[in-house]
Amino acid sequence: MKIEHPYLLFLGDVADQLSAKTAHGIADWRPDWCLGQLRMDGCKADLGLPDMTIEAAVAAGAKTLVIGVANRGGVISEHWIDVLETALVAGMDVAAGLHNRLAGVPRLATAATQHDRQLFDVRHPTRSLDVGNGRKRSGKRLLTVGTDCAVGKMYTSLAIEKEMRERGMNVDFRATGQTGILIAGDGISVDAVVADFISGAVEWLSPANEPNHWDVIEGQGSLFHASFAGVSLGLLHGAQPDAIVLCHEPTRDHMRGLPEYSLPDLGVCIEANLAAARLTNPAVTCVGVSVNTSRLDAAEARRLLLHIEDSLGLPAVDTFRDGAGPIVDRLS
């Protein structure tokens, strides 16, 4: 599919900054791809990018209008449709990671056909997939895994990719969720494929490559999350990782959405991931722990990271605050 950039980021009329989380991710990690933002009357989010009309964006070379906001329920608001249709008529594609589909809105489907434009519903895989075959692929792979959902696996993956790229390494970020796909311009939402095809989807996403090439693959869920562990295991098997990085948020009282479940011990979680990963890559190792310390003060964060390093014998870093250097030091 490959979503073409540069992008114009559509913020709609959302009520707060948090609703523009997806747009923030894109602007943070792919600033060169983002020409500007389009905000409707009443919009309370602001990325600090130039405000642009569709006409101005097209004139500046924008290829795709990306819906970078989620409103309540993840649906496409009625009053957004005029703007999206205008973008299609003006020659842009439109991309979104919402629950309901752009292609399911008749006016948009018609406008896309008439003007030979594409609609990207990145939450909904449309490719025809094969089941996984487990065959060893050339090239190297790193997968981020988690103690829980929503602990920073995508951000950690992107921070590692950035550090590797800055060191001149041969690397690609491989996206497995909707925000990641909009950041990468391609990918597959592995939690939305039919269950039989989870590992096959990841084999497609991260094909054989040059021997010194790294894919940094965005993880999903956690082997210890009672709702989603199946996705995490299929992803682990399909990724065949040479290296895993454990991502963790240290202030959670319980697993996300599951008040009766506490978080796993970090060492136990690493060992369970390695044991499962060995099925498709016996040489897998853990190269570090990425801790989101944003809710801790600087002294607490430093103490926690040192404690994890001491007890596990692995680099422990906050990739948000400090980058991924010590983790990338372990990759060759």
**Assigned token pair, 33:** 């791809």
Among the listed ranges 33-41, 64-72, 94-102, 257-265, the one in contact with a copy of itself (CB under 8 A) is 257-265
Show contacts with a copy of itself in window 197-236 (CB under 8 A).
198-200, 223-224, 226-235
**Secondary structure (DSSP) of 145-159:** EESSSSSSHHHHHHH
Partners of 217 in the β-ladder:
143, 174
132 counts as binding a copy of itself under rule CB under 8 A: yes
Give the x-and-dash track for 73-102 against a copy of itself (CB under 8 A). ------------------------------
Residue 93's SS3 state is strand
**Least distance from a copy of itself to the Cβ atom of residue 272, Å:** 8
Give the residue from 73, 68, 64 showing the smallest Cα distance to 22: 68
Evaluate whether 246 touches 286 at the Cβ level (below 8 Å).
yes
CB atoms within 10 A of CB 149: 21
Q: Which of 196, 210, 265, 329 binds a copy of itself (CB under 8 A)?
A: 196
Among the listed ranges 21-29, 49-57, 99-107, 196-204, the one in contact with a copy of itself (CB under 8 A) is 196-204
Which position has the token pair 């959670």? 252
325 counts as binding a copy of itself under rule CB under 8 A: no
**Least distance from a copy of itself to the Cβ atom of residue 111, Å:** 29
**Least distance from a copy of itself to the Cβ atom of residue 140, Å:** 19
Give the residue from 285, 272, 289 showing the smallest Cα distance to 326: 289
Q: Which of 275, 306, 307, 310 binds a copy of itself (CB under 8 A)?
A: 275
191 counts as binding a copy of itself under rule CB under 8 A: yes
Q: Which residues contact 266 (CB under 8 A, 6 or more apart)?
A: 147, 246, 248, 289, 308, 311, 312
**Least distance from a copy of itself to the Cβ atom of residue 124, Å:** 10
Nearest-angstrom CA–CA distance, 129 and 149: 25
Q: Write out the residues near a copy of itself by the rule CB under 8 A.
A: 131-136, 190-196, 198-200, 223-224, 226-235, 237, 257-258, 260-261, 272, 275-276, 279-280
